[in-house]
Amino acid sequence: MPESPIKVLLQTTIPTTADDWSIARFSLLGQFLRVQQRRGAPLFDVTMRDRENVGSPDPVLSTLDQSDFDEMWLFAVDAGNGLTAADCAAISGFRRRGRGLLVTRDHMDLGSSICDLGGVGEAHHFHSRNLDPDATRRALDDSITKSISWPNFHSGANGDYQKIRAIAPLHPVLKNPHAAGGAIRFLPAHPHEGDVSAPKNQGARVIAEGTSKVTGRPFNIAVAFEPNSNAGPAIAESSFHHFVDYNWDVSRGCPSFVAEAPGAGFAQEPNALLDTHRYVLNAALWLAGSTA
């Protein structure tokens, strides 16, 4: 019998809003996953949605632990109020049932509602919640956009790519047998990425690192939580802009509040999109307990 496709939920923490980072702006990610095949059959069954009304439990998120999804990619694009206590409890229970989670956010306090998620929430540091234990990292990095404070690591313009470092030992999510050195080297850039670290005693470690183009400081891009008898696999990611249409193809446009001029490097470096696609595929498979 053919294997059932991996059921993936791509989910934001805001209601559908045209002039914001709603799930429609992650369409290229959804399209990429939907066309992947295994022995002539779809590899992934992808559901894409925004949350419903802010302030009350979301009907899907607040019952996620009872769902048949294999993994969820949570794009925390809210101002700090995107998840209720019931949502967080069910998402945490989802992972305790052995399911996979990718949780990503952005600069300053954007997406800070994820702090209450069990385990993976501890990996995310914000300006006013769950501050980085390393006080030296609580400092301005991107000094160009004056309205945004730390954490705001500057990896390049939207529309450009950044060179990343896979941290040894090479994690399956960072493997690319077609790349020099066998590891993913490029991801989309963003002018002000967030701050993630590996919590102690959680089976977590940093697997990828970037470098600020303003200060030259290294910053963490991804933290992997290995699955165990008490929890499924998880990834804490520094910025949802690694997965947004605009950062893969600037012609797709962005919300009106994005003030920075875009770059063109991502379109000019073919390996940037290839590496990004490989990263997405690796992550989706690893979160489901599979390998590429």
Written as six digits, the tokens of 164 are 């990343």
The pLDDT tens digits for 230-243 are 999 999 999 999 99
Confidence grade of residue 1 (pLDDT, cut at 50, 70, 90):
very low
Residue 151's nearest CA partner among 108, 189, 196 is 108
Residue 185's nearest CA partner among 213, 209, 204, 201 is 209
pLDDT over 90 at 3, yes or no: no
**What's the CATH fold of domain 6-287?**
Rossmann fold (3.40.50)
The pLDDT tens digits for 100-109 are 999 999 999 9
Distance CA 145, CA 98 (A): 40
Q: Are strands 100-104 and 234-237 parallel, antiparallel or unpaired?
A: parallel
Helix 270-287, helix 27-35: angle, nearest 10: 70
Percent above pLDDT 90 for the chain: 97
pLDDT over 70 at 291, yes or no: no
Confidence grade of residue 2 (pLDDT, cut at 50, 70, 90):
low
Mean pLDDT of the 134-156 span: 96
The pLDDT tens digits for 170-225 are 999 999 999 989 999 999 999 999 999 999 999 999 999 999 999 999 999 999 99
277 three-state secondary structure: helix
Distance CA 153, CA 158 (A): 13
Distance CA 83, CA 118 (A): 13
pLDDT over 60 at 111, yes or no: yes
The pLDDT tens digits for 15-63 are 999 999 999 999 999 999 999 999 999 999 999 999 999 999 999 999 9
Residue with tokens 């769902």: 67
Q: What is the DSSP letter of 115?
A: G
**How far from chain centre, in Å, is Cα 134?**
22
Q: Return mean pLDDT, the chain.
A: 96
The pLDDT tens digits for 253-273 are 999 999 999 999 999 999 999
Query: Which residue type does 203 have?
Result: G
Distance CA 279, CA 15 (A): 27
- Rounded to two decimals, the pTM is 0.97
pLDDT over 90 at 118, yes or no: no
Do 11 and 104 touch, CB atoms closer than 8 A? no
Burial of residue 235, with CB atoms counted within 10 A of its CB: 0-12 exposed, 13-18 middle, 19 or more buried: buried
Predicted pLDDT at 180: 87
Mean pLDDT of the 140-166 span: 97
HSE, CB side, 13 Å, CA atoms: give it for residue 42: 14
Q: How many CB atoms lie within 10 A of CB 56?
A: 12
Predicted pLDDT at 292: 55
DSSP 173-201: GGB-TTSGGGB--EEE--SSB-EE---TT
